[in-house]
Amino acid sequence: MTEKLFEQDAYLKECTAKVVKVEGPRVWLDRTVFFGFAGGQQSDSGTINGKAVIDVAVDGPDIAHTLEGNHGLQPGQEVQCVLDWAKRYRIMRMHSAGHIVGVIMEEKLNNPEYFGSNVSVDKARLDILWPENVRPYLAEFEAKANQVVKAARPIRVYRDPANPTRFVWECQGLKTMECCGTHVRNASEVGGIYLKRESKGKEKERIEVLLEA
């Protein structure tokens, strides 16, 4: 099983690791800082021994890294993993923003059903089944979310004591959520949040969560 260092410390930007398996461009390590696409969160970029990591995927209990070109890595080799930290940190801010807005929205709309959610560098999106245009609610959601940011509420992610394979996201004062992603430690790091609405068809509403900077 790949040791997922981001589960202990989302702020870890690099690590050394040992190559355990190689299949063409794909490389498996004993431990990694690279987050593989999961729970709607975009995967990380960066380098392993200076070679660009072009894809990171969850592979059962492991993480598979796809490298560009002829990486030349061999099992047993020690390598240096370096994250594209600017990208990861922005995803962390986006993911935390998505949850803050999500909790506020769920409370107001009484837990509508989701048909999708996603977190990327540019935006987080919450796709819900809802019979009306959600635009009239957005100003309220936005104001409440920005209050959480201004109040600098601490955020933590911890293993669910009732089911240690799952993780719980908690922003002080808000309802907890299940999550497997990476987050900032404090809501103040998110910065200004603004929201947009998109229709995704009959009774399907999308709330886009964007950051001011």
Binding site for Zn ion (CB under 5 A): 179, 181
Instruction: Name every residue whose Cβ is closer than 8 Å to that of residue 115 and which is 6 or more positions away in sequence.
Output: 127, 128, 129, 200, 204
| Tokens read off for 36 | 């593989």
CB 10 → Zn ion: shortest distance, Å? 12
**Nearest residue (CB) to Zn ion, 10 versus 179:** 179
Closest CB to Zn ion among residues 45, 117: 117
CA distance 129 to 171: 25
Shortest separation between residue 171's beta carbon and Zn ion, angstroms: 11
Residue nearer to Zn ion on the CB measure, 19 or 124: 124
Residue nearest to Zn ion (CB): 179
Cβ proximity to Zn ion, 94 vs 149, nearer residue: 94
Alpha helix ranges (H) inside the chain: 5-8, 85-109, 135-150
**Minimum CB separation from Zn ion for residue 91, in Å?**
11
Least distance between Zn ion and beta carbon 99 (Å): 6
Measured from the CB of residue 42, what is the shortest distance to Zn ion in angstroms? 12
Owner of token pair 């999500």: 102
Contacts 24+ apart (CB under 8 A), 55-61: 59/28, 61/1, 61/2
The residue type at 156: R
CB of 19 to Zn ion, least distance (A): 30
DSSP string, 126-181: EEEE-SS--HHHHHHHHHHHHHHHHTT-BEEEEEETTEEEEEEEEETTS--EE--S
Q: How many residues belong to the chain?
A: 213
